[in-house]
Structure 1
Amino acid sequence: MPETGRDEYFRRLVDMDALEAFLTDELGPANTYDVERHTAGHSNETLFVEWGDRTVVVRRPPPGETADTAHDVLREFRVMDALQRTDVPVPETVVACDDEAIIGSDFYVMELVDGDVLREAERERFASQEHRQRIGEELVDTLARIHEVDYETVGLDDFGRPDGYTERQVDRWRQQLEWAFERTEDDRAVPELHRVSEWLQESVPSSHPQTLVHGDYKLDNVMFAPGAPPELVGVFDWEMATLGDPRADLGWLLSYWRDAKDPEPSVPELEATFMQREGYPTRRELVERYEERTDTEFEHERFYRTLAVYKLAALGEMFYRRYLEGNSDDPMYPLMAERVPALADRAIRIIDGEEPL
């Protein structure tokens, strides 16, 4: 039977024999072995590996050229490994590997966590006002715990440069966007993003708190345990984690959280709408709980929300470049031709005060 495009892409992700040999050395032999690609994510690749009577998870970057540190899975492993003995819920880490000869990239292995990710719809067991409220509270309280980690005690004192983090974020995502534009502007341009970039550079707060930050904290990067009431049992996708400004994490979370008054999503493939139902906290209520939980005021909220949407646009444009270069089979990537301009429009609405908190 001829090899399909999806088969060819999977072959680029993993050398089955080489991975089997690696896992045999690390975990011991297994009488069953199978690998399945998890297709719900859109950044790093996630592979579920059946290894005897257990299932482990392998994380690796996508194949092909990537922008700078946008897919640093070893960084992701390090922070999760450091958090094993804290009250931040993370998967149990197993082993990391920087030998690209095995599957063609760095990768790491972690244990599987049992539960549900609320990506496109709420679970029926959570469809009550009390449980909906609790989902928002669990989400905010866990973010607060991340920001309260004593990063020196857990060995992450050299994990980043918290001074000047926010200014560097603006510059870094501008550079990521320019990397994408090298290819995508031949197809279509998004000049509105240049205006957003200029506004962000002019509006960077002069100072900020300094904590561990997740970098991609949102509802579909956490997992809730089976059963009810909602209990958050896992935080995933730590590839962007560093030491920096916790308000950037809150702005990012809010960029994905929808209120009943909101217009249609800019990227419906990524933005769930079920939290617009009665019982879920509003964005403002999430902010108020975070401020109460951390005793930190969410100052410059318009800047942080604009920065979040700008980052989304940059990610989308990087996805679009990978699509144009044939380095992804993700069906969402070609849609970025239209979605990124919509995100640029949303960022300008926030800047102009037309999309309030």
Structure 2
Amino acid sequence: MPIESDLVDRDQLRSFLREHLGPAETFDVQRHDQGFSNETLFVSWDETDLVVRRPPVGETADTAHDVLREYEVVDALQETDVPVPETVAATEDSEIIGAPFYVMKRLDGDVLRYSEPDRFQNSEARAGIGREMIDTLAAIHSVDYGAVGLGEFGTPEGFTERQVERWGEQFEWAFQETTESREVPEIAEIGEWLGANVPEEPAHTLVHGDYKLDNVIFGPDPDPELAGVLDWEMSTLGDPLTDLGWVLFFWLDPVEGELSPLMQTMAPTFLTEEAYHTRGELLDRYERQTGVEVRNLKFYRVLAVYKMAALGEMFYARYLMGNSDSTFYAMMEDGVPQLAEHALEIIDDERPI
């Protein structure tokens, strides 16, 4: 696990922040150890709490650029209805801390990853969490991306078909390492079904790419208010229903019954408590908020599972290669076959929305 000294040159960062924010007597840096993608550092600059985002140590130039794409979209959304952290500065100069990075102000509140805060353990708050999630997703999909300077942020035409192809390629890469341990033949069947059932894309919008409960932060008030959407590194222009399928995959229905050990690991289990929205209710609210009738929902749900399975297979490959000792990565030996079974159940209409 990287330590702060591997991720940042403290003296250089201090100089950078002094240039953009003025001098400070108090300066401290701590690594945030959650997540599997870009590195997050919490910085104290006198009374101002900051976040520094940079790529992991050893990443290639192409993937390192993702952090600056993330800054570009967060900066562009500052004056929109989409809640995002306030940006401070960004730089491509790897000589400062060893990689490109950007700085934003830290939001006050909670990321709902493993448990509910005490203030949300009531019916009204639980219902409010679902409303905030969907209303914010609708706000993302309603942004006039050209007007905020994101007109060249992606190539939206053919986005959905490319998603199927892209995640299929990720499987191919991972299978080179994992098939000696075990095979997942169902993946080919699922990929063929997706390729044959790509729907006509709705109007293109800004797409977050990883929109789910633990990628947003709720403010400190008793009434849930979504204070900021985080982790924009997968964002682009494309099919908004891919975001909807993704958030529904990680949203556990209160009526779903016993959870598999895999979903207990990947999704917030407190969503099964009373008063949380069902997936069907989230879908209905999304349609009302956007005015979009969601068709071909099965495709988007299967695509979300396929994407998660591809990520899981890559995690498992890295575990077998000795690049990670994560127990979650190791779980993917059985987890990916379980996800494949889940996708086939959706295809066969054996699972409700």
Structures share a fold, TM > 0.5? yes
The reply to whether residue 93 of structure 1 matches residue 87 of structure 2 is yes
Q: What is the DSSP-based 3-state SS (H/G/I as helix, E as strand, rest coil) of the residue aligned with 2:29?
A: strand
Aligned 8 A contact 2:40 2:53 in 1: yes
Unaligned runs of 5+ in 2: none
**CA 1:253–1:216: 2 relative to 1, 3 Å:** same
Q: Which amino acid aligns with 1:349?
A: E
In the alignment, the residues of structure 2 paired with residue 322 and residue 9 of structure 1 have an alpha-carbon distance, to the nearest angstrom, of: 20
Q: Which amino acid aligns with 1:21?
A: S
Q: Which amino acid aligns with 2:227?
A: V
Q: After superposition, where does 1:89-238 map in structure 2 within 5 Å?
A: 89-238=83-232
Which residue does 1:261 correspond to in 2?
256
Which residue does 2:294 correspond to in 1?
298
Q: Which amino acid aligns with 1:239?
A: E
Q: What is the DSSP-based 3-state SS (H/G/I as helix, E as strand, rest coil) of the residue aligned with 1:64?
A: coil
**Relative to structure 2, which stretch is displaced further, 314-323 or 207-216?**
314-323
Q: What is the DSSP-based 3-state SS (H/G/I as helix, E as strand, rest coil) of the residue aligned with 1:356?
A: coil
- RMSD between superposed Cα atoms in Å: 2.2
Which residue does 1:3 correspond to in 2?
none
Q: How far did residue 71 of structure 1 move?
A: 7.5
Which residue does 1:271 correspond to in 2?
267
**CA 1:180–1:227: 2 relative to 1, 3 Å:** same
Q: Which amino acid aligns with 2:293?
A: E
Q: Which amino acid aligns with 1:264?
A: L
In the alignment, the residues of structure 1 paired with residue 114 and residue 230 of structure 2 have an alpha-carbon distance, to the nearest angstrom, of: 17
> Cα deviation per residue 1:37-86 (whole Å; 9 max; x = unaligned)?
11222222211112233221011222335796598111111000000000
**Relative to structure 2, which stretch is displaced further, 145-154 or 206-215?**
206-215
> Cα deviation per residue 1:219-278 (whole Å; 9 max; x = unaligned)?
111111112211111100111111111111110010000112255243432211211111
TM-score (norm 1): 0.91
Aligned 8 A contact 1:267 1:343 in 2: no
Which residue does 2:77 correspond to in 1?
83
Aligned 8 A contact 2:64 2:99 in 1: no
Aligned 8 A contact 1:67 1:179 in 2: no
Which residue does 1:36 correspond to in 2?
30
Which residue does 1:354 correspond to in 2?
350
Unaligned runs of 5+ in 1: 1-5
**Relative to structure 2, which stretch is displaced further, 62-71 or 274-283?**
62-71
Q: How far did residue 344 of structure 1 move?
A: 1.9
Q: What is the DSSP-based 3-state SS (H/G/I as helix, E as strand, rest coil) of the residue aligned with 2:247?
A: helix
Aligned 8 A contact 1:166 1:245 in 2: yes
**CA 1:195–1:12: 2 relative to 1, 3 Å:** farther
In the alignment, the residues of structure 1 paired with residue 257 and residue 52 of structure 2 have an alpha-carbon distance, to the nearest angstrom, of: 37
Aligned 8 A contact 1:309 1:347 in 2: yes
Q: Which amino acid aligns with 2:22?
A: G
Which residue does 1:23 correspond to in 2?
17
Q: Which amino acid aligns with 2:116?
A: E
In the alignment, the residues of structure 1 paired with residue 311 and residue 351 of structure 2 have an alpha-carbon distance, to the nearest angstrom, of: 21
